[in-house]
Structure 1
Amino acid sequence: MHTIKRRHLPLVNKLGIISLLSTIGLAAITTIWAVYLNSFLHNASYVGFLTAFFIIIGSLSYIFFIPIIEKKNKIKLYFNILALFTISYLLFGLFTNLYSVIILGIIVSILASLGITCSGIIVRDKTRDSSVSKNEGIISTSRNIAFLLGPIIAGFIANRYGITNVFFFAAITMFISLNLLKLMEIKDNRVKKRVDKSSIKVFIDFFRKRERTLSYITSGGITFWWALVYTYIPIYILNNGLGKEVIGYFLAIVTIPLILTEYSFGRLAGKIGFRKIFVLGYLTIGFFTLLAFFFSNIYVILALLVLASFGAGMLEPTTEAYFFDIITKEQRDKFYGPYNTTINLNAFMGRIFAAIFLLFLPFKFIFILFGVIMFLFAIVSSRNKEIIESKRKHS
């Protein structure tokens, strides 16, 4: 009698499925977020300032919640975060005044910081040292598939049923994700008994080492550029007389280069090293973004930004993998939160710099702003220490 061997889905694939579903909801909200806020504020610059405020809240969360990340079971904490996301998005769909939106925005900003930290540490803890960039590529690809589907779904729902219904859709995806997380029975036995009492001291200690500081700066540039794509381009599309569905289509299409290339670039970085990939990625984004300044046709500008996202495909799966490669296992819980503040810091700066530009200059000048700053990130990223994962021992 033949015995049937039961095949288990690899752990990184399980995490990828959960990431895919939860990120579809996040991507849907991201698609309509700027337009949603603009319906209250009626000014692109004010939208930039308010989203920047939410980013500050998220940044502080990365720092001051370090003890919670260190002492709590990451799986249980991630489950609770998904549950709170579900409730928050339901409330977004029910409340329609600005003050309620601001309060819920603060809550979601905190949840996003905790969720990013938890999921990132879980993936790294379950990955061999020689496979970090490859597995980060898998997770990044799953998220970008979500950012392909989420905007299309959000555009359809917003156009057909209204923006508030997008929040109900996001709540459903979060609810499904938390139930899948429970069903997959992923274990997390690594909990620190001794936690760092001073979050501020941990944050300062993070920057005492040059390698970590350079990694922090290098990782932030891509988030700076996404501020242009997700905050200002949706408003620009509407101001050019196009419909909300075009926002969804654009934000979906802009993720296609990432889906096609992130896994490959992640594996390539593991074989040839990270530094070349970093520099080429930022040069690609900078070139096509700067080129957009010289065109007035909205469709040409959107096409150039899609081409720029090939550079993002080089950076998203590699910057975080590189950071995990330069720290020890014992440092993950306390340093991953401070490292992630680069996401919010650069998202904040991207929105604020552009908001200030828009107070004094026509919209198209922000393409010069973002293009030049991407070139500066290319210079900084060339200073990183070279690491080749394929030459490291499996562990």
Structure 2
Amino acid sequence: MPIWKRNLLVCWFGMFVTSVGMSQIAPVLPLYIKHLGVSDADAISQYSGIAFGITFIISAIFSPIWGQAADKFGRKPMLLRASLGMSLVIFSMGFAHHVYVLIGLRLLQGIITGYGTACTTLIATQTDNKHAGWALGTLSTSSISGSLLGPTIGGFIAENFGMKDVFFITGALMMVAFLTTLFFVKEDFTRQDKKIQSMKEVWQAVPQKSLTITMLISFFVLTIALYSIEPVLTIYVTKLSSNSEHVALFSGLIFSASGLANIIAAPRLGKLSDRIGSHKVILAALIIAGLTFIPQAFVTSPWELMLLRFILGLSAGGLTPAVNTMIKRITPSEITGRVFGISMAAAYLGVFSGSLLGGQVAAWFGVEYVFLFTSALLLINAVWIYFKVYRKQGIGAIVSPGQVSAK
């Protein structure tokens, strides 16, 4: 097996577990905070919001920092640092005796993160352009499916084993990720440019600034779309379901449908972007995803919603690998880690913004409007991509397979 494929396999597992660890706390967080001695319902909601959101906000701040460290010291050391650190921090959450301790550990988790940035950079720099779309597409299934399946996994563990075991099991899995990274990831790292240090110098070294900004914003909008429904999904399923006993099951299945669709579609659409160009896949996926959100506002049963979320997952699966492939092809290798770090920061901000947006839109206008508002965001982004990227003079020279932009 080629080294890049073996690294891809190890990184896939590590990023999946990391994403589960970032998101699995969502369904058990209010219950765990209550278990820690907070009895007032408003206080539980307040502490839950802080504990959930703080990890993603801090991660957004530190992702570019760890990306810079990856460019300076190599990607494997960053993988080892992040996986070991997250293993210890998440495991320690099971021993928290006060809500402030839990919030502090969630903050520390946000600081330590960086596994995804290092993995994406490692695979992007080791894989040739012919296979870049497929490799990054396969890798993207780990973070997306882990994030979407995390709440279901966390809820299952909490119900069948106990709330603390959610943290213990996830911490143990992260330790497995650390060990597999230590023994199986191979990297011959040579720092190529010691002159580029500050973020200002990084930005000056980016050859396609407008295109890079467009990709980062598109990644941000995509993540908002994927997570806008998360805080209100259970409420919507309750409204659609005639049997309240199965609300939790339906909610978990609907989350899982999107994750499963991403696993199926992302490698295939990544390979397609290698053949026809990333810009075409991005535009088509944005349009299909945007249109798929509209009927979700008018469904009459959880099964209809599940089917539409599956279709959404198929289309959205092409966006992340296509965006990452384009970023790889227009970014000099010596600053790839930092640019992907900024990209991950955009994703983390998208998770936080999407959750916040979904809750606020549902509170002010109704749950159905969350889907319509998200559809509008995606379709507006598609129009922007069409004029800024698809119709750009010479776009084929920028993104056509097997080519790299002039540096």
TM over 0.5: yes
- Do structure 1's residue 12 and structure 2's residue 4 form an aligned pair? yes
Give the total of aligned pairs: 384
Matched, 1:291 2:332: no
- Which of 370, 392, 395 is the equivalent residue of 2:403? 392
3-state SS, counterpart of residue 287 of structure 2: helix
- Percent sequence identity is 17
Secondary structure of 2:94's counterpart equals helix
Pairing 1:325–2:329 present: yes
State the 1:52 CA deviation.
4.0
Distance in 2 (alpha carbons) for counterparts of 1:48 and 1:372:
26
Give matches, 1:298-377, under 5 Å.
298-377=302-381
Change (3 A) 1:254 1:334: closer
Shift of 1:67: 4.2
The C-alpha deviation readout for 1:164-221, integer Å capped at 9, x for no partner, is: 3122121121111111112215123223562644346646876982111112122222
Cα distance in 2 for partners of 1:37, 1:377 equals 33
Partner of 2:30: 38
Structure 1 position 388, deviation (Å):
4.6
Q: Secondary structure at the residue paired with 2:29?
A: helix
Match of 1:87 in 2: 88
- 1:12 is displaced (CA, Å) by 3.1
Tell me, what secondary structure is at the counterpart of 2:190?
A: coil
Provide the rounded CA distance (Å) in 2 between the counterparts of 1:202 and 1:164: 42
Letter in 2 for 1:36: V
**1:109 counterpart = 2:110:** yes
Superposition deviation, residue 101 in structure 1? 2.1
TM-score, scaled to structure 2: 0.83
Q: Which residue of 2 aligns with 1:4?
A: none
What is the CA–CA distance in structure 1 between the aligned matches of 2:367 and 2:378, rounded to whole Å?
Answer: 18
Question: Mind listing any 5+ residue stretches in structure 2 that lack a counterpart?
Answer: 34-39, 390-394
Q: 1:277 to 1:193 in 2, by over 3 A?
A: closer
| Cα shift at 1:122 | 0.8
Give how far 1:133 is off. Answer: 0.9
Instruction: Tell me the TM-score normalised to structure 1 length.
Output: 0.85
* Structure-1 separation of matches of 2:346 and 2:70: 18
Q: Secondary structure at the match of 1:94?
A: coil
Superposed CA RMSD: 3.1
Deviates more, 1:143-152 or 1:377-386: 143-152
- The amino acid across from 2:276 in the alignment is I
1:124 equivalenced with 2:124 (yes/no): yes
CA distance in 1, matches of 2:201, 2:369: 40
Structure 1 gap segments, 5+ residues each: 1-8
Contact 2:129 2:401 in 1 (8 A): no
Note if 1:163 corresponds to 2:155.
no
Distance change in 2, residues 1:42/1:377 (3 Å): farther
Question: In structure 2, what is the Cα distance between the partners aligned to 1:166 and 1:245?
Answer: 18
Superposition map of 1:182-221 within 5 A: 182-191=182-191, 194=194, 196-199=196-199, 202=202, 209-221=209-221
Residues of 1 paired with 2:359 and 2:226: CA distance?
A: 14
Report if the CA contact (8 A) 2:257-2:306 is conserved. no
Partner of 1:57: 58
Structure 2 residue matching 1:390: 3-state secondary structure:
coil
Amino acid at match of 2:403: R
How do 1:222-261 and structure 2 match up within 5 A?
222-234=222-234, 236-237=236-237, 241=244, 242=246, 244-261=248-265
Distance 1:52 1:203, change over 3 A: farther
Q: Flag the 1:52–1:147 CA change in 2: closer, same or farther, 3 A.
A: closer
Asked whether the equivalents of residues 124 and 324 of structure 1 are also in contact (C-alpha less than 8 Å), the reply is yes
